[in-house]
Amino acid sequence: MIQINKKQKGFSIPEVIVAISIVVLIIMTATNLLVSSMRANRNNVNRIIAYNLAQEALEGVRNIRDGNWLQNQYWRGNGDYAFFGEPFVGDGNYIIQKKHALFSKGQCGQGADFVNDVDTVTAASPWELALYNDEKSKLYIRESDYTEYTHEPVNNFSGFKRWVEIETVPYEGGLEEDTYKLKLNVTAVVEWEERSREQQLRIPMILTDWKSGTM
């Protein structure tokens, strides 16, 4: 006759504790990796947005310089009119904002009376400068056919702030009063908050009178 041993060996309490600890450790490690990955991804997204916003600001300043020259205005502005009529009073921080009142089709003909009219050029310019303050530097999200960041206060604050720092610097060997030998150091600054810590991206650019004077 064959005897069957009905006694079966089970897990001891220490073995169960060790097994549970290993499982918990694996879960915690995986969770930490997932959280770290999500934070890194969010950080990368914010930096890409900040980089594009900074580049847009630099393109705007460059466009103002080129537009001034093309409209027979001094490239850094002249007298009461500076950078499409906005108050460029000297070195300092400024807000640069897109405008949407552009020239009409009928205003684009060669030799039209408006070509050298500063007021008309100012009203129809695609960009404008304003003196910096913290509230104006905030960027909001406007949803239309595409996502647009704007300084105009609408409902959705993006969490980003933007401004440009402008510093007048003479060329090597040039004098400060010799305005035609001056160049501008322009730095686009974008600031945002991430995990309760302030983040900032700065992109510099040197702006010169690339046409060496007005027409």
Q: What is the DSSP string of 143-194?
A: ESSSEEEESS--SEEEEEEEEEEEEEEEPTT--TT-GGGEEEEEEEEEEEEE
Could you tell me the end-to-end alpha-carbon distance of the chain, in angstroms, rounded to an integer?
Answer: 117
Distance CA(127)–CA(166), nearest Å, equals 16
Domain interval for residue 36: 22-207
Write out the two tokens for 165: 């720092």
| 71 within domain boundaries | yes
For residues 170-193, give the mean pLDDT: 73
**Is residue 5, in this structure, part of any structural domain at all?**
no
* Calpha distance 202→209 (Å, rounded): 23
- Asked if residue 107 has pLDDT above 60, the reply is no
pLDDT at 92 over 60: yes
152 within a domain of the structure (yes/no): yes
Distance, in Å, from the CA atom of 148 to the CA atom of 150, rounded to the nearest integer, reads 6
> Is 213 contained in some domain?
no
Is residue 143 very low, low, confident or very high in pLDDT (cuts 50, 70, 90)? confident
Alpha helices by DSSP H, the chain: 13-70, 118-123
Task: Mean pLDDT check: name the lowest of 35-39, 96-100, 165-169.
Answer: 35-39
54 part of a folded domain: yes
Q: Is residue 215 part of a domain?
A: no
Report pTM. Answer: 0.69
Is the residue at 10 inside a domain?
no
Domain total in the chain: 1
Q: Within a domain: residue 89? A: yes
- Token output for 148: 């647009």
The closest alpha carbon to 211, from 91, 67, 80, belongs to 67
